[in-house]
Amino acid sequence: MRLHDLKPRPGAKHRTKRLGQGESSGHGKTSGRGGKGQSARSGSSIRPTFEGGQMPLFRRLPKRGFNNARFATNYIPVNVEALNAFDDGTRVDEAALRVAGLVNGGSSGGVKILGDGKLTKKLTVVANAFSAGARKQIETLGGVCEAPASKAA
């Protein structure tokens, strides 16, 4: 098989709707734009929430209550099975996890080690949070679970 042999699955491609091809085509005269008005004009585009100048729904509704999402701590999850990439006796912190490619993304609330999978190495793991299962697996193998040193010092 070569690149020129590739083609879409049957039924995956549709013929484009040909507008303005006469009345009998079914898409003649107004070409599916209805009658007159703003949406019938060329170059017209109004955002989906626009209500013609009427006060929009999201501004009519009262804004009440408190949402804690802005203040939540968002951890980057890492499963214990991924820690098997490190050698026995290694000290694993966020920097080491980033170098190994197990933690991506910008700043966050830190790293949380989760207990999914099976850990086979004795490690010293430095993370902001541990699940109970992860802590148990690490300590059962003689490893240590540590919290990182605070940046205030």
Domain annotation covers residue 64 = no
Between 122 and 107, the more confident residue is: 122
Residue 40 lies in a domain: no
Whether 127 is in a domain gets the answer: yes
Beta-carbon contacts of residue 46 (< 8 Å; ≥ 6 apart): 38, 39
Mean pLDDT computed over every residue of the chain:
91
Q: What is the pLDDT of residues 25-48, one digit of tens each?
A: 999 999 999 999 988 999 988 899
In the predicted model, is pLDDT for residue 110 greater than 70? Answer: yes
CATH number for position 123:
3.100.10.10
Q: How many domains does the chain have?
A: 1
Pairing, β 144-146 against β 111-114: unpaired
3 inside domain? no
In a domain, 97, yes or no: yes
Assess if residue 100 is contained within a domain. Answer: yes
Residue 38 within a domain: no
- Domain residues for the domain of 94 are 76-146
What predicted TM-score, i.e. pTM, was given to this entire model? 0.58
Does the residue 130 lie in any domain?
yes
